[in-house]
Structure 1
């Protein structure tokens, strides 16, 4: 999960990494990155391809120079001119600008790690870019009537959803963890300090190396040495983004009842590549398909909605935003939500779950321009329960992911009591991308006039508090 410059298509040769010990004992399989011949999926329409990964893909990936060059500056990615295509006033429905992305992950020991990598704002943890112009894109518009056609380019999984580990030396971290478990009690401060600033691939590598070198499962060690919310937080971090998402889904559906908010958090608005990685890992871990478990726990329209989501057939962010097709979608959405009696829930879900974030932003703007009301208000008036919440989250994440995450964090702490499991999962997901976490904190301050760290301190205590604060800061 991630946040994180040569042209795409080629990976730098492996160098500077100390050899990793041979795989043995416990450990999860390594997931290589997608072999797709296309550049990675982005969170904005026709954004430049992502920057190089820090970790070599260990033999996977196409040869250098296979992908097309970046389009020249100015062809797309600039804010539309005032009132272009009926665009609303600045700030009404648009996406705020954020500062350039910073290095992801904690500083590496100079003799052990390569330079900190730069990740693009992609995947679940990426920040949606500003609304894009509706003119002709550099790749060209598809023929009329083919809006929603197969994507031009297929994205790679987010960091932590494709390649799982890297041949880097994490001896220092493994020894620190082993020392923290020795003797009477647990050194909680060392545990927190060791894991709080690791990126997804570093965290997975630390877990695997601990298991192999010490012939012990670190997750089982945490289970036996810690307790309560602190244990839950440690397990969520140590599992990494992909395994953590799968366990969250499994625990949300096991037993009586379903924790719908967890299903929404993990699956709504995800890239095709991430959804496919989650489905494969879920099958490996629990020996059953994610879709079958969703069908068993959900029903009626909500079941249909999530079956569409896990089908992983969203348009990629590289698919052009075509004004005529946006208008066609707006017309169809108005027809499908025409009345409570005759509304076409399946068609509404099909449109909203199959469009890219850039297309959803354009649809949202065009709908408000034509009908003088927001698409969100229509969803609220025509739907209810879990389906309403899922569709609203889909629109919110497409329009401003950081603001949406800030609202979700406050929801876990508002009112009497704290929804600790949701708070832990949401903090950990955001923390995998430090730049995104900084944007979430800024949106939280802007919306609630409170500092997120102080808000968390007011709702938590002890080692549990210290862990969450370290992840946020």
Structure 2
């Protein structure tokens, strides 16, 4: 959770923030070594043997002061009033405790004292090793819940008829009140958006998606429709767009499918089947080939280890050796099935063993879509906020703006306001510029106003 990492002490330089109380959780039962005095470059820190760090998204300085809400207009309903983001103090993240599955020794039990005069049979002798001591089974794995907006049919409680009336009035008659569409739609969370759309159909008797589509155009329309779709339906739509027709839109597959939880992937697959009467796994597999087909087939199977599962040091060492050998089948399995915690452990152990950053090894040994996919999964595990900051800058750097990418990515990020705040901090940290200012300089018109509104 990103809100477990509030801004650091501004008097300490980046990369030298104190660790959580008690240090990072170990994945190997070896004493921690003393850290090296010199910090390696960003993203390639070397950690003491047996340690894996949490994601780094909490190390960014505070984002610039928020802008005044855009635009002015009638007061918002109470459920749409912006709420300040409350972050718990640093150090309140759940502490790590080693489950009883690995390295656990139950307490010794002794036979009862022999009563006087009672004879016990002689102790049994063994020709070989004595029987193994009974070890308590590992605790059941806690399955991750779907992200907000990824449970079909789930909507926010409350009366959303005023929102539906305002939206209908903005599109009724001649002309369209674009400012009202921006003001109402940009501030809804996933469950509120689902409630507004359902209320619009029931109360007005019309389809909000179709009305907005008929009244708007261009990338302004693209952004509004993505918001109205909500995160789950829009993800399914993006995958269909990625594989329909000639060729494959690789960035859409990467954005939607890579680094996701099993719960979210299963929800996306079910929605894809329901909306398009097609199998997402079969469509993706048929549209790819060779290395990437193997990787995405395993990704779509949604068999990642859960974050609550125990990290086994012997498995990490085995995975590190497989990464160096570059057996494609094994590499695909490692990245598709490892949890983010395991990928961080592999990243740290790989550098410690070979003195080479894992991302540099991937860049040297792989290429094209396979390289992009593996690096995306690694970046997601190490620092998801910085990953998204770099992806946004990708859309704006150089000549011209990659408007479809920028719109899709900003809308997808805005569904999680805490994460979006971390992305703004990461962007400012890396590029020394406010993200809203950067977006403002690239766009114009109602399209610009919508993108700035979802960044507030």
State the TM-score, normalizing by the size of structure 2.
0.75
1:170: which partner in 2?
160
1:31-72 CA distance string (max 9 Å, x none): xxxxxxxxxxx99xxxxxxxxxxxxxxxxxxxxxxxxxxxxx
Are the counterparts in 2 of residues 78 and 132 from structure 1 also a CA contact under 8 Å?
no
2:289: which partner in 1?
299
1:442: which partner in 2?
425
1:258: which partner in 2?
248
Shift of 1:141: 2.8
1:52: which partner in 2?
none
Partners of 2:385 and 2:368 lie apart in 1 by 24
2:345: which partner in 1?
362
Describe the SS at the equivalent of 2:174.
coil
Partners of 1:442 and 1:282 lie apart in 2 by 34
1:378 is the counterpart of 2:378: no
1:376-430 CA distance string (max 9 Å, x none): 1111111111011000000001000000000000111111221111111110111
Are the counterparts in 2 of residues 276 and 312 from structure 1 also a CA contact under 8 Å?
yes
Partners of 1:208 and 1:308 lie apart in 2 by 35
Are the counterparts in 2 of residues 3 and 434 from structure 1 also a CA contact under 8 Å?
no
Moved more, 397-406 or 74-83: 74-83
Kindly report which structure 2 residues correspond to 1:294-443, keeping only aligned pairs within 5 A, or say none. 294-335=284-325, 337=326, 344-443=327-426
Partners of 1:276 and 1:292 lie apart in 2 by 14
Specify which of 24, 49, 58 is matched with residue 98 of structure 1. 58
1:194: which partner in 2?
184
Partners of 2:86 and 2:263 lie apart in 1 by 16
Are the counterparts in 1 of residues 57 and 386 from structure 2 also a CA contact under 8 Å?
no
Shift of 1:248: 1.0
Residues 79 and 141 (structure 1), Cα distance of their counterparts in 2 relative to 1, 3 Å cut: closer
Describe the SS at the equivalent of 2:58.
coil
Shift of 1:198: 1.1
Residues 99 and 407 (structure 1), Cα distance of their counterparts in 2 relative to 1, 3 Å cut: closer
Residues 395 and 313 (structure 1), Cα distance of their counterparts in 2 relative to 1, 3 Å cut: same
Are the counterparts in 2 of residues 456 and 465 from structure 1 also a CA contact under 8 Å?
yes
1:256-312 CA distance string (max 9 Å, x none): 111100100000000000000000000000010101111221111111111100100
Are the counterparts in 1 of residues 424 and 434 from structure 2 also a CA contact under 8 Å?
yes
1:308-330 CA distance string (max 9 Å, x none): 00100000000122333222221
Partners of 1:396 and 1:3 lie apart in 2 by 15
Specify which of 149, 152, 157 is matched with residue 141 of structure 2. 152
Residues 250 and 3 (structure 1), Cα distance of their counterparts in 2 relative to 1, 3 Å cut: farther
Are the counterparts in 1 of residues 56 and 382 from structure 2 also a CA contact under 8 Å?
no
Partners of 1:220 and 1:119 lie apart in 2 by 37
Moved more, 424-433 or 265-274: 424-433
Shift of 1:201: 0.6
Moved more, 306-315 or 246-255: 246-255
Are the counterparts in 1 of residues 57 and 426 from structure 2 also a CA contact under 8 Å?
no
Are the counterparts in 2 of residues 151 and 315 from structure 1 also a CA contact under 8 Å?
no
Moved more, 90-99 or 382-391: 90-99
Query: Which structure has the bigger radius of gyration?
Result: 2
Moved more, 392-401 or 84-93: 84-93
2:276: which partner in 1?
286
1:217 is the counterpart of 2:217: no
1:84: which partner in 2?
32
Describe the SS at the equivalent of 1:155.
coil
Shift of 1:162: 1.4
Shift of 1:251: 1.2
Residues 119 and 237 (structure 1), Cα distance of their counterparts in 2 relative to 1, 3 Å cut: farther
State the TM-score, normalizing by the size of structure 1.
0.73
1:132-162 CA distance string (max 9 Å, x none): 99x862464389xxxxx99712111111001
Paired positions, count: 381
Are the counterparts in 1 of residues 164 and 204 from structure 2 also a CA contact under 8 Å?
no
Shift of 1:117: 11
Are the counterparts in 1 of residues 80 and 187 from structure 2 also a CA contact under 8 Å?
no
Shift of 1:74: 7.1
Moved more, 186-195 or 165-174: 165-174
Specify which of 423, 435, 451 is matched with residue 452 of structure 1. 435
1:463: which partner in 2?
446
Shift of 1:78: 5.8
Partners of 1:290 and 1:156 lie apart in 2 by 21
Are the counterparts in 1 of residues 236 and 271 from structure 2 also a CA contact under 8 Å?
yes
Partners of 1:130 and 1:375 lie apart in 2 by 30
Describe the SS at the equivalent of 1:327.
helix
Are the counterparts in 1 of residues 161 and 203 from structure 2 also a CA contact under 8 Å?
no
Partners of 1:140 and 1:114 lie apart in 2 by 47
Q: Which runs of 5+ in 2 are unaligned?
A: 6-19, 46-52, 63-68, 70-74, 105-137
Are the counterparts in 2 of residues 79 and 130 from structure 1 also a CA contact under 8 Å?
no
Residues 210 and 203 (structure 1), Cα distance of their counterparts in 2 relative to 1, 3 Å cut: same
1:102-148 CA distance string (max 9 Å, x none): xxxx99844x6899799999xxxxxxx99999x862464389xxxxx
Partners of 1:439 and 1:170 lie apart in 2 by 30
1:25: which partner in 2?
none
Partners of 1:323 and 1:85 lie apart in 2 by 16
